[in-house]
Amino acid sequence: MNLEMHIRAFILSFLLFPYASNTLADYFPNNENWDISSPEAEGVSPNKIDKLMDLSFSDDATQAVVVIKNGKIISEKYANGYDLNSHGTSWSMAKSYYAALIGISIDRGEINSLDDKVSVYLDYFDDERSDITLRDLLDMSSGLDFPTHEHEKMFFQADHLQYAKKVGVEKNAGEKFEYNNVNSMLLGDILFQATGKKADVLFEERILEPLGIGDYKLWKDEMGNVMTYCCVDMSARDYSKLGLLFARDGKWNDKQIVSKEFVDETFQVVWETPSRFSDYKRYYSLHWWVSKYDEESKIFNTSGKFGQYTFVDRENDVVVTRISKYSEQDNGSTQKWGIMKYLRWAGIDNAIAIGRMLIASGTIESGSDVITPFTEEEGESYEFYVKYPEIIDSIADLSRN
């Protein structure tokens, strides 16, 4: 081939590259069916996938890891006793999902703006909380009272919304990042006042059904309030669909589920967050964590208490979900505390430890005497946190040449 032909071939490949890339980005899974591809076919080194899987499964708490590139599954692995249909529970990954409903309500004109005062929708915020905006709630900078347990004690109450309504102000809104579960619990009431529908119904109608997700649990407290700060049960593949929705600018097939403008606003850095499980620096924006933000890649993620994650590298069309081991219950999706109600005001670690002990001893039966999302000790991550910087680098490495 002479020089002129080389030049022509180069120009042709350059011109066709955007078209090929967009064609790949047009693929979406069809309901329960995913296209299974190979790392090589999607331009990823199998060795890099192996490294990511080895890092993830070095923690015995790992239940499943699913890796998506160009909308297709290029690798997935499950711990013994689990498969592609096994549910995990999200814990706080759910915060990101219910926050998306705020964006959709803005798109539909039901909510005017992220900068609306919360008091526009919640009349009980017409007090010392009157300066707090929706953005403040979603950015975890509301200034609401912030105890050391981050209001995780709310999880053990009969009425989570009543608990959230009573939380007062500690500092000025917009002043400081504080990861406060009450901020997220209030989203359900805001959505109900704006739309007339509860958050679980909105989630089903506006996100889950369009994405073809049909096997899930959306947890509620004993009074029927949707727990919008936690607790959605589904498979690792279905969590990955929610990640893919954001990786694709809020679009699913030919339908814009949530506006690109809201996704763009979500996928930025607002707060640098305090170190939690390691010295690795992370950031926060609109109920999403940011684990990497540089010229190479921008990796955003949902995050759950015991090591549940969906990582989204939107620029490189990569989604990685990792969930920890979970024993699903069959008796509905509404909490029932039974004798565990006496632990409502115990320390969080004490309540978890005592609950595990009572279940292990047979004193209470999970799913009968007590109904609630519950992670046993085998599903509580440790090594995954220790290796978190390596895992993030490994995800970024999937897109390196």
Task: Give the per-residue pLDDT at 25.
Answer: 66
**Mean pLDDT value of segment 373-388:** 95
Quick check: is 31 in a domain? Answer: no
pLDDT band at 8 (very low <50, low <70, confident <90, very high): very low
Quick check: is 141 in a domain? Answer: yes
pLDDT at 17 over 80: no
Task: Give the per-residue pLDDT at 277.
Answer: 67
pLDDT tens figures, 309-363: 999 999 999 999 999 999 888 889 999 998 888 777 677 788 888 888 888 898 8
Residues of the chain above pLDDT 90, percent:
80
pLDDT band at 7 (very low <50, low <70, confident <90, very high): very low
**Mean pLDDT value of segment 193-218:** 98
- If one counts every other C-beta atom within 10 angstroms of the C-beta of residue 119, the result is 16
pLDDT at 12 over 60: no
d(CA 152, CA 156): 8
**Mean pLDDT value of segment 33-55:** 97
Task: Give the per-residue pLDDT at 373.
Answer: 94
Q: β-strand 288-293 against 251-252: which pairing, if any? A: unpaired
pLDDT at 16 over 80: no
Quick check: is 183 in a domain? Answer: yes
Count: domains in the chain: 1
Quick check: is 243 in a domain? Answer: yes
CATH number at residue 161: 3.40.710.10
Quick check: is 8 in a domain? Answer: no
pLDDT tens figures, 255-292: 999 999 999 999 999 999 997 767 789 999 999 999 99
DSSP string of 120-150? GT-GGGSSTTTT-BHHHHHTT---B---TTT
Task: Give the per-residue pLDDT at 349.
Answer: 80
Question: Pick from 314, 309, 397, 387: which is nearest to 46 by CA?
Answer: 397
Task: Give the per-residue pLDDT at 44.
Answer: 98
Task: Give the per-residue pLDDT at 11.
Answer: 39
Quick check: is 217 in a domain? Answer: yes
The partner residues of 256 in beta bridges, in order of sequence, read: 251
Average pLDDT, the chain: 92
pLDDT tens figures, 127-137: 999 999 999 99
pLDDT band at 64 (very low <50, low <70, confident <90, very high): very high
d(CA 232, CA 253): 24
pLDDT at 302 over 50: yes
* Mean pLDDT lowest among 46-60, 67-81, 362-376: 362-376
Quick check: is 237 in a domain? Answer: yes
pLDDT at 2 over 60: no
**Mean pLDDT value of segment 222-233:** 98
pLDDT at 24 over 60: no
Quick check: is 210 in a domain? Answer: yes
Range of the domain at 48: 40-336+371-397
